[in-house]
Chain A
Amino acid sequence: MIYLDHAATTPVREEVIEAMSRCLGEQGHYANPGSEHVAGRQASQILEQARERFAQLIGAGREDIIFCSGATEANNMALLGMAGFYGNRARKLLLPKTEHKSVLDPCRQLSSQGYKISWLKLAEGGVLTPSTLNEALDEQSLLATCMLLNNETGVINNIPQMAQYCSEKNVLLHSDAAQALGKVPIAVRRWGLASMSFSAHKLGGPKGVGALYLRRKPKVAIKPLMFGGGQERGLRSGTLPLHQIVGLVRAAELAVAEMETETQRLAALRERLWAQLCEALPDIHLNAHSKAQSPHILNLSFEGVDGEALRADLDQLAVSSGSACTSDHAEPSYVLRALGRSDALADSSLRFSFSWPTQQQDVDLAAQMVIASVKRLRAISPSWSEAA
């Protein structure tokens, strides 16, 4: 099995497992960081060190960080929380259709409560140009949200410029950076946005933990979604899972430390895969903006093949497809449709995504497998006549 689905999730790095293990066993820091006894205070100290370290990695202060269960929760917490707190100020939400469902669905939820969604038009390749956002901002605008790095296409958006436009017009800007940490330099305070979401399992950390950056100066407030013990300054109650948080921070540390070399290496792998496929197969389409692309994601559509058949034929290659499969049907990716792809091309897409374990031989084998499958399926197709 060749695993090129690291944008879906990554294995947990050995260094991370080791750091997490130190917080789990009887001899480890397993105590509740909220407890007053010595073991609890030790756990709390480790927690605060982890918070400080994570804040440094994203250019924030430790008081800006709220740990939670992942980017889905962080997105919900930011969007519903800011709307809950500032909802009497304005009621318009601005976003592109290519956002992750954990952003779209909270916004739809708000829309059912009377908020108005303003969909931002994308430029070619799925990029949201900051000027498009700027032109759409008005007195009714409460908040805007845009991914830093799109999970399906790998497109990178200019969040610093968007943040500047938003602060000029007193609009809150949220950004989902679940895919971006360790791939793109992040400096949240300098950028000046209101909030940003992070996840551990996209960068070699464990599933079930993430963080929300919520700006303290000038302060951005949220109405909490979770009530209970008052952890995380009352904004996210629930016993803090120290081993998970330590795992998140260790994974982020490694990813940021290796970012410069890894992004170059992964971009070279992506180019290698793209070149091999292009050379062997006519009529394939890049689903991204070629100049604003993440080093670790390559999303392609293949003309003349059925998506389900392609995915079935590639059963030894773990990649994501352009279909959102549910138990009873598969529908073409809404992200690729927002980029203007037909249903057929959105359906016949594959997303290859890399991370630190990915090696050249993985990419070469994947290319061979995809080339063989596409050629085989095109040879069966009645509508395909390959150029000589």
Chain B
Amino acid sequence: MSLYSDKVWRLFREPRRVGCFGPDEEGVVSGSATTPASHAQLVLHLKLAADGRIDDALFQALGCPSLIASGAWLCGWLLGRKADAVTNLEASGIVEQLELTPLKRYCAVMALDALNDALNKHSNSKTQGSLQSDLETVETDND
């Protein structure tokens, strides 16, 4: 009897979207999640277009087959979606898609944590960016 669903097994054995973007690429934001209990790590790298659309998504993982499959599935799912439209994804959705066992639910949670971390960084950078441009505008006005 297999310990993993067919979907998990396929994504574990031939994971797509593994890696990270080059240092010079623009619009890249990364998020990560760890779980000390199982010393697992998941890092998600998103490449966002100016309109907030996710043009590309890559992941890196140190963890069990279900975690690797969760990262790979999430990257595939994120492609082409708008950043502000992916926040409604829930762990139960990943669990269902990958047929994760209850013990492996934490892998879906980690995938979401990494996504939320990346999206938070993205919105923080946008806020900082707009603050910066406001300041620049003020300075310009003062000149």
The residues of A with any CB-CB pair to B shorter than 8 Å are 304-306, 308-309, 312-313, 328-329, 343-344, 347, 379-384
Segment at the A interface, from B55-63, B77-85, B117-125:
B55-63
Task: Give the residues from 42 to 61 in chain B that come closer than 8 angstroms, CB to CB, to chain A.
Answer: 42-43, 60-61
Residues of B within 8 A of A313 (CB): 12-13, 65
The smallest C-beta distance from B71 to any residue of chain A, in angstroms, reads 8
Check A304–B62 contact: CB distance below 8 A. yes
A-B pairs with lowest CB-CB distance, top 9? A382-B60, A308-B64, A381-B62, A382-B43, A344-B39, A312-B65, A306-B63, A380-B18, A309-B64
- B103 near A: Cβ within 8 Å? yes
| Size class of the B contact interface (CB-based, 8 Å) | 20 to 34
Who on chain A is nearest to B13 by CB? A313
How many angstroms between the C-alpha atoms of A344 and B3 in the bound complex?
A: 21
Residues of B within 8 A of A347 (CB): 39
Given contact pairs A304-B62, A312-B4, enumerate 11 new A-B contacts (beta carbons under 8 Å): A305-B62, A306-B62, A308-B64, A308-B65, A309-B64, A309-B65, A313-B13, A347-B39, A379-B18, A380-B62, A383-B62
Residues of B within 8 A of A304 (CB): 62
Who on chain B is nearest to A308 by CB? B64
Contact of B62 among A328, A329, A343, A382 (CB under 8 A): A382
How many angstroms between the C-alpha atoms of A2 and B116 in the bound complex?
A: 43
Residues of B within 8 A of A329 (CB): 103
Q: Known contacts A328-B103, A382-B32: does B68 contact A309 (CB below 8 Å)?
A: yes
Q: Known contacts A312-B4, A312-B12, A344-B39: does B64 contact A381 (CB below 8 Å)?
A: no
How many angstroms between the C-alpha atoms of A308 and B40 in the bound complex?
A: 11
Provide the B6-42 mask, 1 if CB < 8 A to any CB of A, else 0.
0000001101001010000000000010000011111
Residues of A within 8 A of B61 (CB): 380-382
Who on chain A is nearest to B60 by CB? A382
Residues of A within 8 A of B67 (CB): 306
Check A343–B39 contact: CB distance below 8 A. yes
The smallest C-beta distance from A315 to any residue of chain B, in angstroms, reads 9
Who on chain A is nearest to B38 by CB? A306
Task: Give the residues from 123 to 138 in chain B that come closer than 8 angstroms, CB to CB, to chain A.
Answer: none
How many angstroms between the C-alpha atoms of A306 and B12 in the bound complex?
A: 13
The smallest C-beta distance from B33 to any residue of chain A, in angstroms, reads 11
Residues of A within 8 A of B65 (CB): 308-309, 312-313
How many angstroms between the C-alpha atoms of A381 and B20 in the bound complex?
A: 11
Check A384–B3 contact: CB distance below 8 A. no
Check B60–A381 contact: CB distance below 8 A. yes
Contact of A309 among B41, B60, B63 (CB under 8 A): B63
How many angstroms between the C-alpha atoms of A379 and B65 in the bound complex?
A: 14
How many angstroms between the C-alpha atoms of A15 and B60 in the bound complex?
A: 52
The smallest C-beta distance from A75 to any residue of chain B, in angstroms, reads 31
How many angstroms between the C-alpha atoms of A383 and B34 in the bound complex?
A: 12
Who on chain A is nearest to B30 by CB? A382
How many angstroms between the C-alpha atoms of A381 and B34 in the bound complex?
A: 12
